[in-house]
Structure 1
Amino acid sequence: MRPVRLDLDGFTVFREPTTVDFTDTDFFALVGPTGSGKSTVLDAICFALYGTVPRWGDRRAIGNALAPSAAEARVRLIFESAGKRYVLTRVVRRDTKGTVSTKHAGLEMLTPGLDLTKLEFGLEQSDIAEVLAGTPGEVDTAVLTVVGLPYEQFTKCVVLPQGEFAAFLHAKPAERQKILVNLLGLEVYGRIREKAQSEATTAETKLKVLDDQLHAFADIDDAALAAAASRVEALRTVAAAVDRIAPQLQDARHLAEQAAAALATLDAEIGRLAAVSV
């Protein structure tokens, strides 16, 4: 993901409309006094993509996006990914009850070669190659597809949370290792180790069961195997005979049921005649 242009309006310290142009910029440095908004530029990029900022500490705390006394904040990011350009917009508003929520979020693919100065006056339908998302939930899914990184990995590999590097430099070796694990996502290797240990334990249990079974047959010799094979063959012969006789037995059972029914009918008839003769 490569930023091309960032438009801010009412976002934290940027109360007035502000544009940061990264066009044709391979490397850049954000320089200025404390509180001038350097970190906020990176926050805005992260917010546009994922709807939150690491230093807010809570992904639901979107009220931090609003500048003091502002009722609305707009962030628009134009970026490149895999050779294509996209425009991503998020709008946050405060209602009359003071509740802050994301009122609009959208992600669109721009037509190739679009003149970005058209952004100053508004894009036309012909400037949009494809609409990828129109709600916050759809944007979250689409960004993952377009950028290829979830929020946790993006904030560990692309935009490092403010203060994390300073903490690393001054940390003790053990704490430094912990910070590296957190920043680089190395905890995945811990999960791999746990999974490998679990599978190894399961395999060892199965191996013990098989060893016990083999131990039970340790005294079997060729003569015993030949006798067992002979018994198996005899049982197969019996099974084949049963399979042949089974249909006959079924027919016989059916005839027996019919005979029993006829006998019951005769018994009833004899009983009736005996009663009449009396």
Structure 2
Amino acid sequence: MRPMRLDMAGFTVFRDETTVDFTDADFFALVGPTGSGKSTVLDAICFALYGTVPRWGGARGLANALAPSATEARVRLVFESAGSRYVATRVVRRDGRGNVKTANAGLQLMPAGFDVTKLDTGLSPEDLGEVVAGTPAEMEQAVLAAVGLPYEQFTSCVLLPQGQFADFLHAKPATRQQILVNLLGLGVYEEVQKRATERAGQAEAGLAAVDKVLAGLTDVDDAALAAATARVDRMRELSGAVGSAVPERESARAAARAATAALADL
């Protein structure tokens, strides 16, 4: 996943509309004094995709998305993944009772070659491309399909929370293996293994059925096998004779019908 552009407004320390353009950056570093919003930029990327941030302590920390005294926070992330370009949007609002909830969330597949600078011209959401997810509930599976990583793995190997880099290094081997499988697209080999195992199971079941049939033929000796083979040969000969007789029978039936018609005329 490669970020292309990040737009924020009312999001934590970014009360005013702020845009971070990553378009031409192959590598970048966020520098500045403590409290200038460096970590918040990374938080916004994670929030746009997954609706939460590690240091918030889960979805219950949603109120942290709002800047002080703000009633609405908006985050929009344009990113590329697997050759496609997407835009993820989340809007959080505080109601009259002080409750903070996600008012809008969506993921759209942008048209090929879409110029992100057009976002500055006030495009409507309908102009941004095909809607992949239109509600917060639909975002989880849609983002997983687009990015290829669930939230836990994204925050373990792509966007590591401060001070938690060692968590990935010290994770259980099975956990690290699954993360690398997702990152490197090795799931196809798991699917090959699954199908091969299924086919092997079917072959073993068929072999067991044949063995069962053969086990019931314990009284068969060479003489019985020769007799059965002779009967099969005789049946084949009889089948051939019947097949040859069928045209003669049809011819006889036709002659009988003609004779019956002639008698009726007389």
TM-score of the superposition, structure 1-length normalised? 0.58
CA–CA distance in structure 2, aligned partners of residues 168 and 85 of structure 1: 28
1:202-252 alpha-carbon deviations (Å, 9 max, x no partner): 87676556445434424412322345564996xx99xxxxxxxxxxxxxxx
> Contact (CA 8 Å) 1:48, 1:76: kept in 2 or not?
yes
Q: What is the 5 A alignment of 1:236-275?
A: none
Residues 130, 213 of structure 1: CA spacing in aligned structure 2 closer, same or farther, 3 A cutoff?
same
CA–CA distance in structure 1, aligned partners of residues 139 and 201 of structure 2: 43
CA–CA distance in structure 2, aligned partners of residues 42 and 74 of structure 1: 15
> 1:192 deviation in Å?
9.3
Q: What is the aligned partner in structure 1 of residue 11 from structure 2?
A: 11
Q: What is the aligned partner in structure 1 of residue 53 from structure 2?
A: 53
Classify the secondary structure of the residue corresponding to 2:225. Answer: helix
Aligned residue-pair number: 230
> Contact (CA 8 Å) 1:111, 1:129: kept in 2 or not?
no
> Contact (CA 8 Å) 1:87, 1:110: kept in 2 or not?
no
> 1:33 deviation in Å?
5.0
Q: What is the 5 A alignment of 1:1-278?
A: 1-33=1-33, 35-56=35-56, 58=58, 62-81=62-81, 85-108=85-108, 109=110, 112=113, 114=115, 116=117, 119=120, 122-123=122-123, 128=127, 130-132=129-131, 135-136=134-135, 137=137, 143=143, 147-152=146-151, 154-155=154-155, 158-169=158-169, 171=170, 177=173, 180-181=176-177, 183-184=179-180, 207=207, 210-228=210-228, 230=231
RMSD: 4.6
CA–CA distance in structure 1, aligned partners of residues 61 and 199 of structure 2: 41
> 1:26 deviation in Å?
1.0
Uncovered stretches (5+) of structure 2, i.e. residues with no partner:
240-266
Residues 105, 192 of structure 1: CA spacing in aligned structure 2 closer, same or farther, 3 A cutoff?
same
Q: What is the aligned partner in structure 1 of residue 264 from structure 2?
A: none
Residues 183, 111 of structure 1: CA spacing in aligned structure 2 closer, same or farther, 3 A cutoff?
closer
TM-score of the superposition, structure 2-length normalised? 0.60
> Contact (CA 8 Å) 2:5, 2:116: kept in 1 or not?
no
> Contact (CA 8 Å) 1:8, 1:19: kept in 2 or not?
yes
> Contact (CA 8 Å) 2:5, 2:23: kept in 1 or not?
yes
> Contact (CA 8 Å) 1:110, 1:128: kept in 2 or not?
no
Uncovered stretches (5+) of structure 1, i.e. residues with no partner:
238-278
1:103-159 alpha-carbon deviations (Å, 9 max, x no partner): 12344536846472752x52268x9363425722555565456x3524346445533
> 1:165 deviation in Å?
2.2
> Contact (CA 8 Å) 1:156, 1:185: kept in 2 or not?
no
Classify the secondary structure of the residue corresponding to 1:128. Answer: helix
The one-letter code of the counterpart of 1:37 is G
Q: What percentage of residue pairs aligned between the two structures are identical?
A: 55
1:4-49 alpha-carbon deviations (Å, 9 max, x no partner): 2212222234344332221311101223455543333222112212
Q: From the CA coordinates, give the structure whose radius of gyration is larger.
A: 1
